[in-house]
């Protein structure tokens, strides 16, 4: 082959290579333009680190992302030190893997931009050989992903919100609905696009809308959490109870940016509570009615007993026996009613600074009969000036239970010690005996209702409610009670701890009335029970009073107008007209000539006694203390009406 031919072929090959090179350059140029377009659209920046010389170059986007103002000041170390502390270790470890082992870098980190504002940055980098022997060079790109991440988080949160059983919603700082999950739409049929507050309130039952609106607007104005129960109406028109909660979410500067709320279905729970409350109310009504029906015959027996004493003084033993049994029945009725009041949360305490020593003295005095019958030795060791903030009568009731239990479960000629002392900010009172003790298996259940000892020879009756009521009364005073015993035949110690008070008690002065100077009164008795009116009338006539009797409210009004009584004893529960209504009619008809009115009832006074304001001077509970009734009837002038029950002091339980 000649030289010309070789030269021609060489030219052809050179021309082909030139064309391929031009095509490659054009393709590279096109690829570069595409890359520039991608970077422009994605707002990504690029960087290059030349490892052999340590030179680093990047564009302005990278410098801005990492908070470096001058492009010339930007180095590859800013990529490592510019990330938040929680991502710094991971970033440095991944960079070493890239530089030393060529492991591709693909990471998302949080960095602090200008002004300290946090932003998310996605960073991708690869390594390549700059020369055969030198370290690898690195080229990469980074872009801000804050908005994308927020969108993903929002989508994730929405998926979670749509998957949970609660109705979830978001509202703006002004309280207008912005978002509600699928459960909200499925249950209410209201779309979150109707973001007016009125549209949201439409989902609630009509009876609850005003209450929900007021509570919600108050929470928005005050910036405080909202928690309430309300009924949401389902698509089928049936309302169900929900627990509605809303929590404010703070934005920049601590200002509330929006509200997050949930509605949790509690319909079964609420309805179960309503049924339980209705059953409890029905039980309490039945117990109260039973107590009333039992107290009426007990009142008749009490009054009759006093008549027998007056007419047959020789029947002292018989009268004492009847009195003890009536007292015992009265205590059981009172225990039953007290238990209903305690469990129903309707026990009323009249708290004032109270001398605990006086309480303990009264309790021991109330237990005199059983203590004397069993020939016990009682030691009362009480430090002076032990003041508690409490209800004197209720505290006496607590310690009467403890002392009477000690008397009942201690063999004859036993020893009982009642003591009290100050201990720090509390007062500790103890009732200690050397009686039969308490078995370990019973000790843990001693304060439960209807629990009693099992030693039949020592048992003296009762319902087993005394200690349960005592514990409830002590706890209502902010105190605690406990029992200690090493076992059977080792004695028992009951300890009551009550918060001490620094305020001195106000001591009431007792007014002694001379029976010989007792004034004679005109008395009107109004009661639908003939036995009560007959026995009570006879008793008061023996005292020298002039007695009129009415068995129904209508005749009582006419009788009061004609007889002009000084005092009227009015039963509260009567057919046709209750005693409170009768009292108001007497006030309206007789005006200043209206007698002093005393309510007599087998029921306790209403809670707060707000149903008969300014009507009755006194409310006494059957079976009443006959001596108290005598004093009230003979009392001078018109007295200020008292709110508390005047049931006689209770004896041992």
639: left (phi over 0), alpha (psi -120 to 50) or beta: beta
| Main-chain dihedrals φ then ψ at residue 355, nearest 5 degrees | -80, 115
Expressed as residue numbers, the domain containing 303 is 275-342
DSSP of 430-467 = EEEE-SS---HHHHTTTTSTT-----TTT-----S-HH
Q: How many CA atoms lie within 13 A of 416 on its CB side?
A: 30
CATH number for 581: 3.40.50.2300
What's the pLDDT score for residue 515?
44
- pLDDT for 16: 78
Residue 514, pLDDT score: 46
* Residue recorded with tokens 């019958």: 373
Residue 398: other Cβ atoms inside 10 A: 28
354 and 427 part of one domain: yes
| 454 phi/psi in degrees, rounded to 5 | -105, 5
Give the β-pairing of 567-571 and 596-601: parallel
In a domain, 640, yes or no: no
Q: Which of 118, 144, 170 is the last residue of a domain?
A: 144
pLDDT at 610: 43
Give the residue ranges of the chain where pLDDT is below 70.
1-3, 26-42, 113-117, 131-134, 152, 154-165, 190-199, 252, 288, 291-292, 328, 335-347, 449-464, 504-518, 604, 606-614, 636-653
In this structure, are 396 and 525 located in the same domain? no
Q: What is the pLDDT of residue 325?
A: 74
Judged by phi (left if over 0) then psi (alpha if -120 to 50, else beta), residue 345 lies in left
Is 424 domain-assigned? yes
In a domain, 365, yes or no: yes
Q: Are residues 139 and 226 in the same domain?
A: no
- Measure the CA–CA gap between 541 and 551, rounded to whole angstroms: 18
The residue among 114, 144, 174 that closes a domain is 144
Residue 643's pLDDT is what?
38
In CATH, what number is assigned to the domain containing residue 71? 3.30.450.20
The Cα–Cα gap between 318 and 102 comes to 111
For 145-200, the three-class secondary structure string (H helix, E strand, C coil) is: CHHHHHHHHHHHHHHHHHHCCCEEEEEECCCCEEEECHHHHHHHCCCCCCCCHHHH
In a domain, 205, yes or no: yes
What CATH number did the domain enclosing 289 receive?
1.10.287.130
Residue 451 and residue 402 share a domain:
yes
Q: Look at residues 265, 295, 320 and tell me which one is the last residue of a structural domain.
A: 265
Give the three-class secondary structure for 637.
coil
**395 and 536 assigned to the same domain:** no
Domain assignment present for residue 206? The answer is yes
Quote the pLDDT of residue 28: 62
Q: Quick one: 131 and 180 in the same domain?
A: no
User: What are the start-end ranges of the E strands in 456-595?
Assistant: 480-484, 492-499, 522-526, 546-550, 567-571
Q: Which residue in this structure is represented by tokens 């090959």? A: 13
Nearest-angstrom CA–CA distance, 194 and 203? 12
- In this structure, what are the phi and psi dihedrals at residue 528, rounded to the nearest 5 degrees? -80, 0
Question: What SS3 string covers 228-289?
Answer: EEEEEECCCCCEEEEEEEEEEEECHHHCEEEEEEEEEECHHHHHHHHHHHHHHHHHHHHHHH
Dihedrals φ, ψ of 388, to 5°?
-125, 155
Give the pLDDT of residue 207: 92
The answer as to whether 510 is a domain residue is no
Number of domains in the chain: 6
Same domain for 627 and 525, yes or no, is yes
Contact between residue 240 and residue 234 where contact means Cβ atoms under 8 Å apart = yes
The verdict on 488 and 377 lying in the same domain is yes
Q: Are residues 73 and 195 in the same domain?
A: no
Are the CB atoms for 565 and 595 separated by under 8 Å?
Answer: yes
d(CA 345, CA 348): 9
Strand order in the sheet with 618-621: 546-550, 522-526, 567-571, 596-601, 618-621
In a domain, 653, yes or no: no
Whether residue 366 sits in one domain with residue 335: no
Domain of 375: which CATH number? Answer: 3.30.565.10
Give the pLDDT confidence score for residue 40 in this predicted structure.
Answer: 57
In a domain? residue 443: yes
> Domain check: are 140 and 75 in the same one?
yes
Same domain, 279 and 245: no
- Predicted pLDDT of residue 614: 64
When the pLDDT of each residue in the chain is averaged and rounded to a whole number, the result is 79
Alpha-carbon gap, residue 112 to 6, rounded angstroms = 66
């Amino acid at each position: 082959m000649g030289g010309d031919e070789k030269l021609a072929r060489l030219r052809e090959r050179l021309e082909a290579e030139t064309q391929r090179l031009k095509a490659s350059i054009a393709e590279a140029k096109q690829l570069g333009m595409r890359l520039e377009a991608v970077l422009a659209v994605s707002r990504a920046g690029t960087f290059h680190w030349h490892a052999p010389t340590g030179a680093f170059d990047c564009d302005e986007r990278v410098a801005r992302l990492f908070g470096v103002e001058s492009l010339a000041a930007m180095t590859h170390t800013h990529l490592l030190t510019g990330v938040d502390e929680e991502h710094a270790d991971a970033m440095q470890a991944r960079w070493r893997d890239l530089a030393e082992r060529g492991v591709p870098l693909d990471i998302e980190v949080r960095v602090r931009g200008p002004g300290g504002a946090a932003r998310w940055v996605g960073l991708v980098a690869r390594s390549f050989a700059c020369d055969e022997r030198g370290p690898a060079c690195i080229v990469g790109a980074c872009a801000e992903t804050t908005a994308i991440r927020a969108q993903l988080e929002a989508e994730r949160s929405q998926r979670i919100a749509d998957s949970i059983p609660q109705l979830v919603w978001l509202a703006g700082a002004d309280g207008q609905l912005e978002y509600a999950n699928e459960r909200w739409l499925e249950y209410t049929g209201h779309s979150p696009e109707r973001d007016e507050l009125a549209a949201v309130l439409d989902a609630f039952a009509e009876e609850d809308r005003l209450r929900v609106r007021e509570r919600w607007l108050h929470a928005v104005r005050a910036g405080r959490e909202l928690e309430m129960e309300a009924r949401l109406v389902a698509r089928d028109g049936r309302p169900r109870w929900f627990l509605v909660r809303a929590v404010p979410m703070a934005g920049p500067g601590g200002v509330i940016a929006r509200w997050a709320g949930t509605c949790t279905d509690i319909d079964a729970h609420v309805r179960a509570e309503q049924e339980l409350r209705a059953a409890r109310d029905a039980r309490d009504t039945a117990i109260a009615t039973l107590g009333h029906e039992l107290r009426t015959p007990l009142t008749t027996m009490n009054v009759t007993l006093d008549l027998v004493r007056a007419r047959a003084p020789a029947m002292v033993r018989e009268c004492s026996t009847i009195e003890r049994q009536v007292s015992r029945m009265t205590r059981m009725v009172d225990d039953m009613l007290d238990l209903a009041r305690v469990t129903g949360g309707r026990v009323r305490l009249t708290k004032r600074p109270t001398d605990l020593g006086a309480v303990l003295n009264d309790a021991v005095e109330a237990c005199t009969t059983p203590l004397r019958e069993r020939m016990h030795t009682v030691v009362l060791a009480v430090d002076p000036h032990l003041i508690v903030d409490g209800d004197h009568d209720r505290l006496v009731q607590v310690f009467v239970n403890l002392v009477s239990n000690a008397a009942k479960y201690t063999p004859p000629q036993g020893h009982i010690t009642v003591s009290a002392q100050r201990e720090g900010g509390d007062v500790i009172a103890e009732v200690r005996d050397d009686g039969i003790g308490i078995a370990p298996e019973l000790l843990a259940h001693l304060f439960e209702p209807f629990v009693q000892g099992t030693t039949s020879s020592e048992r003296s009756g009762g319902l087993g409610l005394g200690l349960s009521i005592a514990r409830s009364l002590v706890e209502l005073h902010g105190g605690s009670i406990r029992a200690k015993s090493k076992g059977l035949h080792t004695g028992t110690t009951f300890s009551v701890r009550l918060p001490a008070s620094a305020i001195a008690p106000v001591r009431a002065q007792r007014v002694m009335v001379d029976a010989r100077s007792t004034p004679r009164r005109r008395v009107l008795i109004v009661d639908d029970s003939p036995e009560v009116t007959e026995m009570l009338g006879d008793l008061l006539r023996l005292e020298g009073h002039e007695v009129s009797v009415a068995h129904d409210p209508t005749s009582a009004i006419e009788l009061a107008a004609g007889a002009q009584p000084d005092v009227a004893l009015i039963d509260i529960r009567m057919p046709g007209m209750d005693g409170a209504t009768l009292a108001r009619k007497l006030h309206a008809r007789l005006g200043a000539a209206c007698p002093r009115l005393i309510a007599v009832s087998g029921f306790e006074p209403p809670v707060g006694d707000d149903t008969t304001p300014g009507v009755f001077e006194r409310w006494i509970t059957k079976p009443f203390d006959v001596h108290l009734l005598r004093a009230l009837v003979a009392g001078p002038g018109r007295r200020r009406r008292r709110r508390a029950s005047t049931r006689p002091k209770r004896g041992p339980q």
